[in-house]
Homo-oligomer: A and B are copies of this chain.
Amino acid sequence: MPFRYEHPRPALTVDCVVFGLDDADLKVLLIQRGAAPFKGNWALPGGFVRVDETLEEAARRELEEETGLRNVFLEQLYTFGGIQRDPRERVISVAWYALVNLRDHKVQAATDAGEAAWFSLDDLPTLAFDHAEILETAQQRLRGKVRYVPIGFELLPRLFTLTQMQRMYEKILDRALDKRNFRKKVLGMGVLEETDQVQQDVAHRAARLYRFHEAAYKRMVKHGIHFEI
């Protein structure tokens, strides 16, 4: 036990709420705990912060070690510091949330953790520690932020149809949107770039594919115009 301090110190961890979108649902990535406490329960991927890495580096490292995911959109969420949130000892956790799309990012059979799997948000298992609260906080943040910052595109494939985009917003905001008004609005905003490609392998009229126009969005921001769905 070579590390000694004058005063007691809480342990410091990071935890990640990873949201993913497929055709059916908005999902969250969980891992099954291989050790006590909460052995066998599902939990958010995460782990201890090392003293030679930033908080974000710790979050990215744990995410890759436990789920194989890398190069994802990642933002700090909130820091949870309840006294009894870990039964072993005092642990403070800096929580992050990530957005990925399930086509581009395949989850590998995890190495560190027992197993990783996607769960629909309305069909969740009981979570370890205070992870249900962290997840709830992340959902609120996502709902609030997606309307005025274009982070939703992180959940879509690089090329997407307007219907896919609309479904994405509907799943996050949990309400129906009007198709014509939605298209009018997002096309009028000028952050979508139309491609000359259409959907492949669909059993009906194929929809046109669009991509998010990063540069146009940055121009908007610079001119003080703000994105809003």
A contact residues vs B (CB 8 Å cutoff): 1-12, 48-56, 76, 78-79, 81-83, 90, 92, 94
Q: What is the bound-complex CA distance between A2 and B7, given in angstroms?
A: 8
Which listed residue, B6, B8, B54, touches A81 by the CB 8 Å rule?
B54
Residues of B within 8 A of A48 (CB): 7
Q: Lowest 3 A-B CB distances belong to which pairs?
A: A55-B81, A1-B4, A9-B9
Quick one: which of B9, B52, B83 contacts A5, CB cutoff 8 A? B9
| Least Cβ–Cβ distance between A11 and chain B, in angstroms | 7
Given A10-B51, A55-B79, A79-B79, 15 additional A-B pairs, CB 8 A: A1-B6, A3-B6, A3-B8, A4-B5, A9-B11, A10-B12, A12-B12, A49-B81, A51-B90, A53-B83, A54-B81, A54-B83, A55-B92, A56-B81, A79-B94
Chain B minimum-CB-distance residue to A52: B83
Contacts of A90 in B (CB 8 A): 51
6 pairs of residues in contact across A and B, judged by CB atoms under 8 Å: A3-B4, A4-B4, A8-B51, A10-B12, A49-B81, A52-B83
Closest B residue by C-beta to A11: B9
In the bound complex, what is the Cα–Cα distance between A11 and B92 (angstroms)? 11
- Nearest CB to that of A55 among chain B residues? B81
Kindly list chain B residues whose C-beta atoms are within 8 Å of the C-beta of A82.
54
**Given the complex of chains A and B, what is the CA–CA distance between A2 and B3 in angstroms?**
10
Residues of B within 8 A of A3 (CB): 4-9
